[in-house]
């Protein structure tokens, strides 16, 4: 008899805990949900006083599902499709966001993440497998660099970017500079994370390969790399998202409009359309959607890099 | 035989040099992007731009910075922001972690959903919160600007002047915009802290908890006297990382408040931007940057010492 009451109490407790978590989640989702709602509203519904949550009221009823006035006006104004004879679809998206800013962001994020993975993989492997002279010093130095705030370095980097721009070097433009800067920003932590991943791979595997006649580089490539791949993927994703989301460096270091990033585009919208919030909301959704989708599909990989990075600070 | 003898030293030399070649590219990049700019900032903090070029001014940049009233004010803002942001995130994160720790069937789903704010850019998070309270049109503005709920005239978060400070010129109670900034920052940092604390919570051995339960400890006592002491190192790490990101983050202020209304959300990191790029006083900004870097560095070495202590005690 007592056991049954205990079981029911457990059941009720579980329902209560789930309920509390769902409430917390609901509150956490409110800002995102409202942004989604706003992005699908028309201008007439956005600028109403007092504001309405759902654009579904008619003159008779406060909420009528059939009378909802959803629209994609905000998205259309961000993407600005124009009829075009050249494009196969019959129209071309002419908004700066999709034409300039998002491709730039994608380019910077991909290239940076790729190079960071290679460099962090190389030095992480070296730090994990060899105890050479200056090992401790370099490891501590890289950790100390992690602590230099981005903002501190931006002053000097800004001066550097101005000087380099004036120097008119061949093949040089702000894109190369910002990618180098991003690599430098995200490399130190990645090195530490990579070292952690390599430390987890048993040394014996490599030694076996060496005995079987593999050179050290061959052992690295054939034996260690496949095992380190999940870890390196998580470094790639973490760096990709970090660069995608970065604002202040891109805002300050890139001068030409056609090299600017999506986050700058968003900030720019804020200046232009303070009243047309549906446009800002749509821009937010368009920029955030790729990384959120990427995260939902690869969350395990993300958490791995995060836990590894968090322990090191 | 002789061939092997010839190859061997060469091979060994290669093996010895290998780590060096593997690390070299990293070091070069870090020297260009991190070390050189840091040294340049130090140089910059003792110089000021004059019409004929950079001129050495000694400690004058620091003196002028310390005499600037906005500097004192923004230290106050930073303290208010950090205390609010760190305590709110820690407490909320701890409770959510406690809930998630109960091995629920949907824990994975909850964590994934809870994590979405963390993946958003700080500037987007700021924008999202701004959309909530934009005067007249924001969805919460209807509630906040209602005079019957917030007498006498309703509350317009982004334009309301800060209340009269209670203690001298220290900006407490904070302006509504500062509270919004704290909420938005906490919202974004919460998932990470929750996960960190949850990971620590799961390392607390269940035997200890069960035996204390048999000894008659209630839920609160278990949390207070068993879990909290065991989780303390992780909590300190979480707190430090919160303070660190709080001191350095600036993107959200750009999109949420722009430092305003007036100067009521002007924290040190935004002040650095204002001095550097709005007033174009790079020397003075560099001296502020140097101070912030030292604060950062102290925080990090503190965290490191604590984690090392933790590792040793294990």
Q: What is the DSSP letter of A257?
A: G
Residues B308 and B225 in one domain: yes
Model confidence band, residue A313 (pLDDT cutoffs 50, 70, 90): very low
Same domain, B9 and B113: no
Nearest Cα residue to A312 out of A201, A199, A189: A189
pLDDT in tens, B64-78: 899 988 898 899 999
- Average pLDDT of B40-58? 86
Rounded to the nearest angstrom, the minimum Cα separation between B283 and chain A is: 9
Contact A295 B115 (CB under 8 A): yes
CB-based contact, A263 to chain B, within 8 Å: yes
Q: Is there a domain that residue B154 lies in?
A: yes
ipTM: 0.86
Condensed to tens digits (0 to 9), the pLDDT of residues B180-229 reads 999 999 999 999 899 889 888 888 888 888 888 888 888 888 888 888 88
Quickly state the pLDDT bin for A209 (edges 50, 70, 90): confident
Phi, psi of B280 (to 5 degrees): 55, 40
Average pLDDT (A22-44) is 87
Question: Is B297 close to A147, i.e. CB distance below 8 A?
Answer: yes
Q: Do B251 and A184 touch (CB under 8 A)?
A: no
Query: Is B120 at the interface with chain A, CB within 8 A?
Result: yes
Residues B73 and B109 in one domain: yes
Per-residue DSSP letters for A127-178?
A: HHH---TTHHHHHHHHHHHHTS-HHHHHHHHHHHHHHHHHHT-TT--HHHHH
* Nearest CB to A263; choose among B123, B196, B299: B123
* Residue B123 forms contact with A (CB below 8 Å): yes
3-state secondary structure of A84: coil
Q: What confidence score (pLDDT) does residue A249 get? A: 92
pLDDT score recorded for residue B309: 65
Mean pLDDT throughout B238-266? 86
In the prediction, which pLDDT does B52 show?
79
Asked if A184 is an interface residue toward chain B (Cβ–Cβ < 8 A), one would say yes
Asked if A285 contacts A74 with a C-beta cutoff of 8 angstroms, the reply is no
Q: Is residue B50 part of a domain?
A: no
Query: Is residue B52 included in any domain, yes or no?
Result: no
Q: Could you read off the pLDDT of A84-107 as tens digits, one per residue?
A: 777 677 777 778 888 889 999 999
The answer to whether residues B8 and B90 belong to one domain is: no
Inform me whether the C-beta atom of residue A2 falls under 8 Å from chain B C-beta atoms: no
- pLDDT tens across B277-312, in order? 988 888 999 999 999 888 888 887 877 777 666 655
Q: Which residue in the set B117, B131, B296 is minimally distant from A280, CB to CB?
A: B131
Question: How close A87 comes to chain B (CA, Å)?
Answer: 32
Q: Are B137 and A47 in contact (CB < 8 Å)?
A: yes
Res A203: pLDDT? 85
**B12 and B131, same domain (yes or no):** no
Question: Which residues in chain A have their CB less than 8 angstroms from residue B23's CB?
Answer: 122-123, 126-127, 138
Residue B181 shares a structural domain with residue B33: no
197-216 of B, contacting A, C-beta below 8 A: 199
Instruction: Mark whether B216 and B269 lie in a shared domain.
Output: yes
Alpha carbons A182 and A261: distance in angstroms, whole number: 13
Closest CA to B169 of B246, B262, B82, B75: B75
Across the range B36-51, mean pLDDT stands at 88
Please write the tens of the pLDDT for every residue from A41-65: 887 777 777 777 777 777 777 777 7
Which structural domains are found in chain A, ordered by start?
2-79 (no CATH), 96-311 (1.10.3720.10)
Whether B161 is covered by a domain: the verdict is yes
- Per-residue pLDDT band for B124 (boundaries 50, 70, 90) equals very high
Say which of B18, B26, B303 has its CB closest to residue A119.
B26
Indicate if B245 and B193 belong to the same structural domain. Answer: yes
- Is B51 among the domain residues? no
Q: Do A241 and B35 touch (CB under 8 A)?
A: no
Based on the domain organization, do B217 and B267 belong to the same domain? yes
Same domain? B240 vs B287: yes
Shared domain check, B124 and B35:
no
Look at residue B158 in the predicted model and tell me its pLDDT.
76
- Residue B1 pLDDT: 44
Q: Does B302 touch chain A (CB under 8 A)?
A: no
Identify the residue with better confidence: B18 or A176: A176
Indicate whether B226 belongs to any domain: yes
Encoded tokens for A313: 């600070």
Closest CA in chain A for residue B114: A25
What is the Cα gyration radius of chain B? 25
Q: A200-222 burial, b if ≥16 CB within 10 A, otherwise e?
A: ebeeeebeebeeeebebeebbee
Number of domains in chain B: 2
Q: Tell me the chain B residues in contact with residue A20 when contact means C-beta distances shorter than 8 Å.
A: 99
Is pLDDT of A240 > 90?
Answer: yes
Residue B238 placed within a domain: yes
Q: With a CB-CB cutoff of 8 Å, which residues 203-232 of chain A face chain B?
A: 216-217
| pLDDT tens per residue across span A133-144 | 888 888 888 877
Helices (H), chain B: 2-30, 36-45, 60-67, 69-100, 107-114, 116-119, 122-133, 141-144, 176-202, 206-214, 219-221, 228-248, 251-256, 268-273, 282-313
Mean pLDDT of chain B: 84
Contact indicator for B86, B242 with CB cutoff of 8 Å: yes
Residues 268-287 of A with CB under 8 A from B: 270, 274-275, 277, 280-281, 284, 287
Residue B228 belongs to domain spanning: 62-313
Q: Are both B131 and B252 inside the same structural domain?
A: yes
Mutation for testing the B interface, residue in A19, A24, A31 having most B CBs under 10 Å? A31
The mean pLDDT value for B226-241 works out to: 85
Is residue A78 within 8 angstroms of chain B, CB to CB? no
CATH code: domain of residue B72: 1.10.3720.10
């Amino acid at each position: 008899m007592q056991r049954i009451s205990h079981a029911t109490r457990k059941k009720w407790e579980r329902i209560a805990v789930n309920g509390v978590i769902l409430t917390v989640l609901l509150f956490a989702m409110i800002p995102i949900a409202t942004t989604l709602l706003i992005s699908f509203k028309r201008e007439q519904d956005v600028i109403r006083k007092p504001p309405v949550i759902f654009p579904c009221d008619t003159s008779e009823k406060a909420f009528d599902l059939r009378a909802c006035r959803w629209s994609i006006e905000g998205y259309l104004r961000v993407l600005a499709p124009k009829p075009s004879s050249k494009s196969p679809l019959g129209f071309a998206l002419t908004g700066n966001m999709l034409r300039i800013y998002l491709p730039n962001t994608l380019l910077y994020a991909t290239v940076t993440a790729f190079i960071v993975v290679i460099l962090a993989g190389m030095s992480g492997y070296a730090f994990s497998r060899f105890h050479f002279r200056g090992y401790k010093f370099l490891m501590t130095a890289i950790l100390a660099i992690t602590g230099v705030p981005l903002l501190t370095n931006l002053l000097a980097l800004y001066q550097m970017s101005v000087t380099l721009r004036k120097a008119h070097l061949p093949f040089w433009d702000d894109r190369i500079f910002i990618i180098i800067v991003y690599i430098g920003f995200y490399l130190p932590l990645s090195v530490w994370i990579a070292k952690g991943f390599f430390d987890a791979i048993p040394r014996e595997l490599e030694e076996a390969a060496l005995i079987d006649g593999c050179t050290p580089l061959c052992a690295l490539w054939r034996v260690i790399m496949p095992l380190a791949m999940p870890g390196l993927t998580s470094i790639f994703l973490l760096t990709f998202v970090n660069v995608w989301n970065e604002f202040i460096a891109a805002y300050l270091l890139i001068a030409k409009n056609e090299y600017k990033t999506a986050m700058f585009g968003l900030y720019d919208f804020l200046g232009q359309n303070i009243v047309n919030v549906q446009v800002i909301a749509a821009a937010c959704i368009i920029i955030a959607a790729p990384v959120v989708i990427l995260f939902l599909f690869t969350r395990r990989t993300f958490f791995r890099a995060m836990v590894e990075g968090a322990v090191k600070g | 035989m002789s061939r092997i003898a010839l190859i061997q030293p060469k091979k060994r030399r290669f093996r010895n040099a290998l780590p060096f070649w593997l690390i070299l590219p990293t070091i070069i990049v870090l020297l260009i992007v991190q070390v050189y700019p840091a040294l340049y900032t130090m140089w910059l903090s003792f110089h000021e731009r004059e019409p004929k070029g950079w001129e050495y001014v000694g400690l004058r940049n620091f003196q002028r910075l310390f005499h600037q009233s906005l500097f004192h004010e923004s230290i106050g803002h930073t303290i208010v922001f950090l205390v609010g942001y760190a305590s709110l995130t820690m407490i909320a994160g701890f409770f959510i972690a406690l809930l998630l720790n109960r091995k629920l069937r949907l824990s994975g789903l909850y964590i994934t959903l809870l994590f979405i704010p963390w993946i958003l850019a700080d500037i987007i998070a700021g924008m999202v919160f701004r959309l909530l309270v934009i005067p007249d049109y924001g969805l919460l503005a209807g509630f906040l600007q209602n005079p019957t709920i917030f007498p006498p005239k309703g509350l317009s978060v982004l334009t309301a002047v800060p209340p009269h400070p209670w203690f001298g010129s220290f900006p407490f109670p904070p302006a509504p915009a500062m509270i919004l900034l704290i909420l938005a920052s906490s919202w974004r940092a919460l998932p990470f802290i929750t996960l960190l604390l949850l990971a620590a919570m799961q390392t607390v051995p269940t035997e200890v908890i069960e035996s204390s339960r048999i000894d008659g400890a209630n839920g609160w006592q278990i949390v207070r006297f068993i879990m909290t002491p065991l989780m303390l190192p992780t909590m300190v790490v979480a707190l430090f990382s919160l303070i660190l990101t709080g001191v350095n983050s600036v993107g959200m202020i750009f999109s949420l408040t722009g430092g305003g209304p007036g100067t009521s959300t002007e924290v040190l990191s935004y002040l650095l931007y204002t001095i550097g790029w709005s007033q174009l006083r790079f020397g003075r900004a560099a001296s502020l940057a140097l101070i912030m870097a030292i604060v950062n560095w102290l925080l990090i070495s503190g965290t490191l010492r604590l984690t090392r202590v933790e590792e040793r005690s294990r």
